[in-house]
């Protein structure tokens, strides 16, 4: 992988992992732990090879989660760090080699304690004179949330210790397997949404602003570390755990003292073998140096201790029968095939359906309706089909074909060249309505001030809108009904909706949500065709021959305006009085007409977005890559490979100062 490929991959991984991390800490885990771990490992590998690509917003540079509004902040005297994950026994032995060298240098006996890595939410408990005075979540490791009242509802947390000492301990709040099943069963009876897994249920319960809700949840806790103690000193970690049990704490029951790394690996294997018998969920086993003096010598990074590693078990696998494949339409219009399975328990969860991702995935694995398949789930949220047992086929199995029309609205289904997913092309598809209206009303589209996500959801729930055009049929009375004493709100929103009818054509084109068409492309199309009718009647050849419109975009625009739902919506919007003509800018300055700029490095006076808007204002355009068609490369501080490529091609390179003179 060269640096350009690495940079592109980092740009994909960082926002994706940040999203997964935020969802995880918001108790809405959307990807399996194993997949997350693999993506994180890939990012760390790239950053190790290309340190210059490490970004400030990289998840490798962060610890923990944000603080939930409504809780007081608590600064941890001793940081609640995360652990370094390892996935092979060779990595465990590599860790041991580092610790053995350090132990020999300092003439300290090396032993390990192996414990279960409980799948829950970390918390710190602070005691003064033996009395519980405060409890906090881990948060970002340095600052957590004060959840003392919620922690007091957990029966296994002692309010008073057997000795009057000052001590701060760390534990993992969780919900046991049987308790989780009962909790979800009760919620089903009450017609409440099911929790995805025990970890999310525990985290969401502990972070409730109302402790009465927390008290109704079957939370438990296992203590696994002394964070701080002014009253007593320990020589070993195992000794401290034994003492914590005497004080009345519910200490992690799986704690195995090992004389060497071979014993530690055997302990890891035993935990893995017995994990189904445990009453609580785990997502690994932790290997810790026992001697506390050796821990001090080993030290820590800002994020993880160097004296411990967390071994992650390979995903658990189970066989079951694939009874059917059905298609699910997402809010973006993506059509996802879903496997309907004979229910099977994997890693403590009953699995009856799972995603098959896309047609390519099904073809690659040759998955057929009626197959015996292997399901994988490593204590995670999303199970997956990893193998088909073809030797168990009877001949009755059926090959699956993706639908030609949307199963929800009947619109044309499209799969573009180079893409794996199929999409519904219907702009009025009910499955896409919510996300479509959010985009339609957004700032860069029709810019309808006040029409936010919650209002849109309420309008749909009350059946006041069933398509985009219905926005313009809403009355002040309709809008006022959404809020108590909502007359002023309704008048303002109604005025904003009316005002949006006069928006320029490019905004409406962008608002329609045509695949691959953003603001820049919408402006190009509006400028070229002038009216909505002209654009709708444009041939594929006319679109494709435009310099800025490539083959994929041309096909996407052409197909979109051939769809009956699109034609129907445009006619409705015309009836509602929306502007369908591009506005002409009087005396427009087109000094950059026909020029292409590439921006590289860090600019002092402008953000990339600001510089791009200035260039477009003067009739120019920007590109992310340097080519022979590039007119100028605007280079800021720490310009990278684009600068070198421009030099090699003889492209004119301008400084920020020169750019400033050009736009005066």
Q: Are the C-beta atoms of residues 9 and 50 closer than 8 Å to each other?
A: no
- Adjacent-strand bridge partners of 353: 340
Locus of tokens 């821990």: 295
Q: Give the active site residues.
A: 117
Q: Phi and psi for 134 in degrees, rounded to 5?
A: -160, 145
Output the six-digit token pair for 141: 């490791």
Q: Are strands 167-174 and 220-229 parallel, antiparallel or unpaired?
A: antiparallel
Report the half-sphere exposure of 663 (CA within 13 A, side-chain side). Answer: 20
Cα separation, 98 vs 84, whole angstroms = 14
Q: Distance (Å, rounded) from C-alpha 518 to C-alpha 511?
A: 9
Q: Which two tokens stand for residue 317?
A: 């696998």
- How far is the C-alpha of 39 from the C-alpha of 584, rounded, in Å? 48
Residue 87: half-sphere exposure toward Cβ, Cα within 13 Å = 10
Stretch (H or E) spanning 96: helix 89-105
Residue 68 to residue 207: CA distance in whole angstroms: 8
Alpha carbon distance 311, 504 (integer Å): 57
Determine how β-strand 73-75 pairs with β-strand 143-145: antiparallel
Q: How is residue 641 written in tokens?
A: 């490979």
State how far the Cα of 152 lies from the Cα of 391, in Å rounded to an integer.
55
Do residues 543 and 511 lie in contact, with contact meaning Cβ atoms separated by under 8 Å?
Answer: no
CA distances from 537 to 23, 190, 411, 416, 569 (A): 43, 53, 19, 21, 15
Distance of CA 108 to the CA centre of its chain: 44
User: Residues 582, 524: contact at Cβ < 8 Å?
Assistant: no
Radius of gyration of the chain, Cα coordinates, nearest whole angstrom? 30
Query: What is the rounded distance in angstroms from the CA atom of residue 339 to the CA atom of residue 356?
Result: 6
Nearest to 645 by CA among 622, 657, 628, 621: 628
Say if CB 150 and CB 214 are below 8 A apart: yes
Give the C-alpha separation, 167 to 228, whole Å.
6
Tokens 């492309």 belong to residue: 521
Residue 74's CB is within 10 A of a number of other CB atoms, namely 21
Helix (H, G, I), strand (E, B) or coil at 484: coil
Joined tokens for residue 7? 């940079």
The C-alpha atoms of residue 533 and residue 580 are separated, in whole angstroms, by 8
């Amino acid at each position: 992988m060269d640096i350009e490929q690495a940079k592109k991959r980092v740009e994909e991984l960082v926002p994706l992992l940040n999203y997964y991390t935020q969802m995880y800490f918001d108790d809405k885990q959307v990807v399996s732990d194993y997949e997350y771990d693999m993506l994180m490992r890939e990012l760390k590998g790239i950053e190790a090879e290309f340190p210059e690509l490490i970004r400030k917003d990289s998840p490798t540079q962060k610890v923990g989660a944000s603080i939930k509004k409504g809780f007081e902040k608590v600064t941890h005297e001793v940081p609640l760090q995360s652990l370094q994950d390892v996935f092979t026994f060779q990595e465990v032995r590599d860790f041991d080699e580092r610790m053995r060298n350090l132990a020999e240098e300092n003439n300290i006996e090396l032993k390990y304690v192996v414990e279960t890595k409980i799948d829950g939410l970390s918390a710190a408990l602070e005691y003064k004179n033996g009395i519980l005075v405060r409890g906090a979540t881990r948060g970002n490791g340095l600052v957590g949330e004060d959840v003392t009242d919620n922690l007091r509802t957990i029966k296994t947390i002692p309010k008073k210790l057997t000795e009057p000492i000052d001590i701060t301990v760390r534990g993992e709040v969780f919900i046991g397997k049987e308790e989780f099943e009962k909790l979800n069963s009760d919620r089903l009876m009450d017609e409440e949404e099911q929790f995805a897994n025990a970890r999310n249920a525990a985290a969401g319960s502990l972070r409730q602003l109302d402790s009465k809700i927390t008290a109704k949840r079957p939370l438990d806790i296992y203590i696994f570390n002394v964070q701080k103690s002014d009253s007593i000193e320990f020589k070993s970690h195992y000794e401290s755990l034994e003492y914590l049990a005497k004080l009345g704490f519910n200490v992690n029951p799986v704690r195995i003292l090992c004389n060497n790394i071979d014993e530690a690996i055997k302990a890891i294997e035993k935990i893995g073998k017995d994990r189904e018998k445990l009453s609580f969920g785990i997502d690994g086993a932790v290997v810790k140096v026992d001697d506390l003096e050796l821990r001090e010598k080993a030290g820590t990074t800002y994020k993880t201790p160097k004296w411990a590693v967390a071994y992650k078990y390979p995903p658990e696998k189970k066989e079951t029968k694939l009874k059917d494949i059905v298609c699910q339409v997402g809010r973006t219009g993506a059509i996802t095939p879903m496997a309907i399975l004979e229910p099977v328990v994997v890693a403590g969860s009953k699995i009856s359906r799972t995603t098959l991702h896309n047609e390519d995935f099904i073809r690659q694995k040759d998955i057929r309706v009626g197959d015996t398949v292997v399901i994988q789930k490593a204590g995670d949220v999303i199970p997956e089909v990893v193998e088909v047992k073809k030797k168990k086929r009877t001949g009755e199995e059926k090959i699956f074909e993706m639908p030609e029309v949307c199963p929800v609205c009947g619109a044309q289904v499209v799969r573009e060249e180079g893409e794996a997913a199929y999409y519904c092309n219907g702009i009025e598809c009910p499955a896409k309505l919510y996300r479509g209206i959010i985009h339609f009303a957004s700032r860069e589209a029709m810019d309808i001030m006040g029409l936010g996500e919650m209002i849109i959801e309420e309008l749909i729930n009350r059946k006041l809108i069933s398509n985009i055009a219905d926005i313009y049929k809403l009355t002040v009375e309709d809008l006022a009904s959404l809020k108590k004493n909502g007359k002023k709100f309704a008048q303002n929103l109604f005025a904003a909706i009316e005002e949006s009818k006069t928006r320029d054509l490019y905004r409406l084109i962008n608002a329609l949500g045509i695949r691959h068409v953003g603001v820049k492309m919408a402006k190009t199309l509006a400028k070229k065709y002038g009216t909505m009718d002209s654009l709708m009647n444009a041939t594929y050849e006319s679109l494709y021959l435009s310099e800025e419109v490539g083959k994929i975009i041309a096909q996407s625009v052409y197909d979109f305006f051939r769809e009956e739902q699109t034609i129907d919506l445009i006619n409705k919007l015309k009836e509602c009085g929306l502007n369908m003509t591009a506005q002409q800018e009087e005396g427009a300055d087109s000094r950059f007409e026909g020029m292409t700029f590439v921006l590289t490095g860090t600019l002092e006076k402008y953000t990339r977005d600001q510089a791009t808007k200035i260039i477009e204002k003067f009739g120019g355009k920007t590109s992310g890559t340097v080519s022979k068609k590039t007119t100028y490369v605007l280079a800021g501080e720490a310009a990278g490979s684009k600068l070198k490529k421009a030099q090699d091609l003889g492209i004119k390179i301008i400084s920020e100062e020169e750019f400033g003179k050009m736009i005066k």
